[in-house]
C-alpha cells in the first residue's frame, strides 16, 4: 500500500527544513487516505452525492437534529433573517477540498434547507446538515482569525501561528481581533501543524491534539475525518460535534458519547468540553455523560515530549554565561493573602507557574520577604508538583528584608529595620546573608541560581557584604549574585571591592524602571551597559498602571497595594497621565495590548523585564510583547511627555 502511494517527489531524505518534511509527510498520508476512501466507495453503485452524503446515515434522533435547525432559524431571525443560515452553511463548503464534492455539498445544503423550510424535512439528511454546520462554524472562525477558508484545503498550508522563537509580527495582526478562545497557545506557536486544529475554541484540546500528533499517537487524518467528514462512518450516524451558537464560544459546542470514547483523552485538562456537552444534553432532557480519564495511560502531556516542543527564547545576562528567558516571571504575586490581600494562594498559583514554564518563561524571580517566605515555598512546590527538571529553570531570589515568622501582614515602615525583635534578621551582615540563604534554600528545596541583594545596607562594610556573597557562591548554594535598587555609585563600589579581591561580582541589576519612572537612565543603566551587567527592571508596568487607561482603577491591586499608591498614584501627575494615554493610543494602532507596548519599550532598551503575571492571559500578553516592535518615532512618542522625578531613596 505504501509503495502504491509513493511518488518520485515524495522523498524527504536530505531535507532538514521541518516544515517541508511535514508537508511531504502530510501529502503521503492524505493520498493514502483518499486511496482507502475510494476503495471503500467503489463498491457502491449509487451516485456520488448519495455515496458521499446519504450512505451509512441511519435514522437520527429527530429531537436533536430538529432542534439544531430550529436553533439556527431562531439565531438567524435575531440577526439578518433566515437566509443568513443558508449563507452561513454555504460558507463551510469552502473547507471541502474536492471541487466536485464541494458543489454536491452546496446543492445538498440548499435542498435540505428548502425541504425543512417547507416543513417536509428528510430525516436521513438532518445529520448531514448538522455536520455541515460544524464546517461552517470552523470556516467562520477561520475568517475571524484572518485565515482564508479555501486556503485550509491546501496540504501545504502551515499555521501562521507557528514559529520557532519569539512570535512573528503576523501573529499579532491575527490575534488582535481574535476572540480569546481562539488565541494561539504556546504549543500552537511551537509545533508545526496544519491550521485546521487552530479553529476549535478549546485551547487545551488544541494543545493536547498537537502534542499527541507530535508523539505519533494520533492520526491527524483520522481525527480530521471524524470531525469534518459528512458521512460519519467511524462514529456512527450521529454527528460527533454540534454547534448551537457562535462558533468562537465554547458554550455553543457539544460532542457526542462516541467522540468522547474515541478521542476523549484529548480533552484531558479541558473540562469545558464535557461541561458544555452536558449542559445541552440536560436542556434536551438527556442523561449527563460521565467520562473518567484517570484510567488512561496517556502521559504525553506531562513527560519529556513537552520539553521537546516547549518554546524557548533566551538572552545572555550581561557578559556572564547565564541565559534567561526574555521575560521573567515575578513571583511576588504568589503567596499569602494575609501578607497582601490581592495575592494568589498556592492552589491558584501553581497552574500559573506551570503555564509560564510551558510558555517558555523559565526564569522566576522571588524573594525571601515575599509573603514571609511563602512565595519561595510555592515556587519549590511547583517544581515538585509538575516534576520540572531543575536544570531547565533559573531561580532568582533575594535577601535583605525582614521575614516575619509570625506570618503577619506587610508593614513597609519596618521592612528594613534592624533593631529590637528584628535585630540580625534584616540587612546584609555576614550573619544575615548566610542565614537567609540557608532558609531560602530550605523553602525552595533547591539551590538559587541568582541571589540578589534586595537593597544596599549602608551600615555594613562593603568588604563584609561581598565576602559573604562570594562565600555563598563557593558553597554551591548559589550560582551567581545580583543586586537591586541602590545608587549607581554604591553598586560600582561593591563591584570594585569584589574585583580587587578576586571575588565573584554581580551579573545583574534589578532596578525600578518603566515609562513612568526613568531615573535609572541617569547613571545606573549606562554603567551596567558599559560594564556588561544585565538589566532586570522590576515593575515594568508600574504596578499595572501602564496596563489600562489612566482613569481605570478597578484592578484589585489599584485598590489594595500600598506600594502602587506610594510609587505611582501618590499624586495626579499630568505627564504620567499623558504617557499612559499615549501607550493606549499606540497599542490601539498596533493591535496590541497596553501591557505589551509598555514591555516592548523596555525590551527596546535592552532590558529583560521582571513582571507579575497572575493569569494565563497576562503570561500570553508578556510573551506576545516580544513581537511588538517599536520604531524610533514610536519610542520618542512614548518618552516625550516624561518629566524627571526625584530619585526614590531605597
Longest dimension (CA), the chain: 95
**Residue 567: predicted pLDDT:** 65
Give pLDDT, residue 8. 46
Of 552 and 477, more confident: 477
Query: 336 and 272 in one domain?
Result: no
Give mean pLDDT, residues 350-356. Answer: 95
Q: Tell me whether residue 609 is in a domain.
A: yes
Same domain as 344, residue 244: no
Closest Cα to residue 303, out of 393, 394, 389, 184?
389
Mark whether 330 and 430 lie in a shared domain: yes
Q: Same domain for 318 and 262?
A: no
Show which of 283, 304, 333 is a domain's final residue.
283
**Highest mean pLDDT: which range of 55-64, 408-417, 444-453:** 444-453
pLDDT average, residue stretch 414-440 = 90
* Residues 321 and 447 placed together within one structural domain of the fold: yes
Backbone angles phi, psi at 506, to 5 degrees: -70, 140
Rounded distance between C-alpha atoms, residue 160 and residue 198, angstroms: 10
The per-residue pLDDT for 202 is 92
Domain span including residue 95? 18-283
Provide the domain count of the chain. 2
Do 519 and 580 fall into the same domain? yes
Q: Does 51 share its domain with 118?
A: yes
DSSP 575-595: HHHHHHHHHHHHHHHHT--HH
pTM of the model: 0.58
What DSSP character marks residue 517? B
Please check whether residues 404 and 444 belong to one and the same domain. yes
In terms of domains, do 268 and 390 share one? no
Evaluated on CA atoms 74, 78, 83, 87, the torsion sign reads: negative
- CB-based contacts of 122, cutoff 8 Å, min separation 6: 112, 115
Q: Are both 248 and 336 inside the same structural domain?
A: no
- Report the alpha-carbon distance of residue 171 to residue 626 in Å, rounded: 11
The whole-number average pLDDT for the span 226-239 is 57
Residue 305 forms part of a structural domain: no
Q: Are residues 259 and 370 in the same domain?
A: no
Q: Which residues contact residue 398 at a Cβ distance below 8 angstroms, ignoring those fewer than 6 apart?
A: 366, 367, 368, 369, 451, 452, 453, 454, 484
Catalytic residue among 113, 355, 370, 513: 370
Q: Which of the two residues, 115 and 146, has the higher pLDDT score? A: 146
Domain's final residue, options 265, 283, 301: 283
Say if 55 falls within a structural domain. Answer: yes
When mean pLDDT is compared across 35-39, 148-152, 206-210, 620-624, the lowest value belongs to: 35-39
Mean pLDDT, rounded, for 599-610: 94
Crossing angle of the two packed helices 220-228 and 18-41, in degrees rounded to 10:
50
Band (419; pLDDT cuts 50, 70, 90): confident
pLDDT in tens, 587-601: 999 888 999 999 999
Radius of gyration of the chain (CA): 29
Average the pLDDT over each of 1-5, 53-57, 185-189, 261-265 and give the range with the smallest value: 53-57
Among residues 283, 299, 328, the one where a domain terminates is 283
Length of the chain: 650
Cα separation, 59 vs 233, whole angstroms: 14
CATH number of residue 576's parent domain: 3.20.20.100
Count CA atoms closer than 13 A to 106's CA, side-chain side.
14
Segment of 87-101, 121-135, 416-430, 501-515 carrying the highest mean pLDDT: 501-515
pLDDT of 373 > 70? The answer is yes
Q: Is the pLDDT of residue 386 over 60?
A: yes
Give how far Cα 195 sits from Cα of 138, 151, 153, 229, 314, Å: 11, 10, 10, 17, 27
Report the C-alpha gap between 360 and 309 in whole angstroms: 10
The answer to whether residues 85 and 234 belong to one domain is yes
Helix residue ranges, H only, 93-145: 99-117, 123-144
Could you give the C-alpha distances from 218 to 104, 209, 234, 266, 308, in angstroms and in order?
Answer: 30, 8, 15, 10, 18
Higher pLDDT, 89 or 579: 579
Per-residue pLDDT, 105: 62
Q: 324 has which bridge partners? A: 315
374's enclosing H/E stretch is: helix 374-385
Nearest partner of 223 among 211, 235, 236, judged by Cα: 235
* Whether residue 370 lies in the annotated active site: yes
Higher pLDDT, 510 or 29: 510
Amino acid at each position: 500500500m505504501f509503495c502504491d502511494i509513493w511518488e518520485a517527489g515524495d522523498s524527504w531524505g536530505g531535507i532538514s527544513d521541518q516544515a517541508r518534511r511535514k508537508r511531504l509527510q502530510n501529502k503521503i498520508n492524505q493520498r493514502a487516505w483518499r486511496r482507502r476512501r475510494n476503495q471503500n466507495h467503489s463498491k457502491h453503485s449509487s451516485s456520488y452525492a448519495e455515496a458521499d452524503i446519504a450512505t451509512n446515515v441511519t435514522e437520527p434522533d429527530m429531537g436533536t437534529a430538529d432542534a439544531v435547525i430550529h436553533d439556527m432559524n431562531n439565531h438567524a431571525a435575531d440577526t439578518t433573517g433566515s437566509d443568513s443560515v443558508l449563507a452561513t452553511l454555504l460558507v463551510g463548503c469552502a473547507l471541502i477540498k474536492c471541487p466536485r464534492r464541494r458543489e454536491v455539498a452546496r446543492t445538498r445544503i440548499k435542498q435540505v434547507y428548502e425541504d425543512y423550510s417547507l416543513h417536509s424535512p428528510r430525516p436521513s439528511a438532518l445529520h448531514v446538515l448538522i455536520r455541515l454546520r460544524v464546517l461552517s462554524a470552523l470556516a467562520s472562525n477561520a475568517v475571524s482569525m484572518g485565515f482564508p477558508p479555501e486556503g485550509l484545503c491546501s496540504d501545504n498550508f502551515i499555521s501562521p501561528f507557528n514559529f520557532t522563537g519569539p512570535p512573528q509580527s503576523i501573529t499579532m495582526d491575527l490575534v488582535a481581533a481574535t476572540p480569546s478562545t481562539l488565541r494561539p497557545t504556546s504549543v500552537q506557536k511551537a509545533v508545526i501543524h496544519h491550521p485546521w486544529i487552530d479553529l476549535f475554541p478549546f485551547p487545551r484540546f488544541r494543545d493536547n491534539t498537537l502534542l499527541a500528533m507530535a508523539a505519533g499517537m494520533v492520526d491527524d487524518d483520522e481525527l480530521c475525518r471524524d470531525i469534518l467528514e459528512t458521512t460519519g462512518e467511524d462514529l456512527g450516524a450521529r454527528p460527533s460535534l454540534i454547534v448551537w451558537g457562535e462558533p468562537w464560544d465554547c458554550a455553543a459546542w457539544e460532542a457526542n458519547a462516541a467522540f468522547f470514547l474515541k478521542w476523549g483523552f484529548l480533552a484531558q485538562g479541558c473540562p469545558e468540553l464535557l461541561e458544555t456537552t452536558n449542559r445541552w444534553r440536560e436542556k434536551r432532557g438527556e442523561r449527563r455523560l460521565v467520562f473518567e480519564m484517570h484510567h488512561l495511560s496517556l502521559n504525553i502531556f506531562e513527560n519529556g515530549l513537552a520539553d521537546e516542543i516547549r518554546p524557548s527564547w533566551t538572552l545572555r545576562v550581561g557578559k556572564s554565561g547565564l541565559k534567561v528567558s526574555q521575560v521573567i516571571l515575578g513571583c511576588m504575586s504568589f503567596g499569602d493573602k494575609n501578607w497582601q490581600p490581592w495575592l494568589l494562594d498556592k492552589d491558584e498559583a501553581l497552574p500559573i507557574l506551570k503555564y509560564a514554564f510551558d510558555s517558555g518563561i523559565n526564569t522566576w524571580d522571588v524573594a525571601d520577604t515575599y509573603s514571609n517566605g511563602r512565595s519561595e515555598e510555592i515556587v519549590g512546590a511547583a517544581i515538585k508538583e509538575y516534576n520540572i527538571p531543575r536544570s531547565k529553570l533559573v531561580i532568582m531570589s533575594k535577601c535583605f528584608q525582614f521575614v516575619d515568622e509570625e506570618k503577619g501582614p506587610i508593614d513597609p515602615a519596618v521592612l528594613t529595620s534592624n533593631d529590637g525583635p528584628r535585630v540580625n534578621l534584616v540587612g546584609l551582615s555576614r550573619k544575615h546573608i548566610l542565614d537567609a540563604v540557608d532558609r531560602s534554600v530550605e523553602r525552595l528545596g533547591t539551590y538559587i541560581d541568582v541571589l540578589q541583594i534586595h537593597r544596599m545596607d549602608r551600615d555594613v562594610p562593603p568588604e563584609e557584604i561581598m565576602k559573604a556573597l562570594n562565600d555563598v557562591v563557593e558553597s554551591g548554594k548559589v550560582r551567581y549574585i545580583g543586586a537591586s535598587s541602590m545608587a549607581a555609585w554604591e553598586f560600582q563600589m561593591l563591584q570594585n571591592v569584589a574585583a580587587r579581591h578576586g571575588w565573584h561580582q554581580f551579573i545583574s541589576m534589578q532596578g525600578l524602571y518603566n515609562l513612568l519612572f526613568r531615573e535609572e537612565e541617569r547613571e545606573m543603566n549606562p554603567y551596567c551597559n558599559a560594564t556588561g551587567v544585565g538589566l532586570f527592571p522590576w515593575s515594568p508596568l508600574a504596578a499595572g498602571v501602564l496596563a489600562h487607561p489612566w482613569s481605570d482603577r478597578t484592578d484589585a491591586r489599584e485598590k489594595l497595594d500600598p506600594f502602587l499608591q506610594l510609587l505611582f498614584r501618590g499624586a495626579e501627575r499630568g505627564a504620567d497621565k499623558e504617557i499612559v494615554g499615549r501607550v493606549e493610543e499606540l497599542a490601539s494602532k498596533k493591535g496590541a495590548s497596553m501591557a505589551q507596548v509598555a514591555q516592548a519599550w523596555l525590551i527596546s532598551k535592552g532590558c529583560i523585564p521582571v513582571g507579575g503575571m497572575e493569569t494565563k492571559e497576562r503570561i500570553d500578553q508578556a510573551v506576545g510583547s516580544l513581537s511588538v516592535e517599536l520604531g524610533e518615532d514610536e519610542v520618542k512618542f512614548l518618552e516625550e511627555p516624561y518629566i524627571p522625578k526625584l530619585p526614590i531613596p531605597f
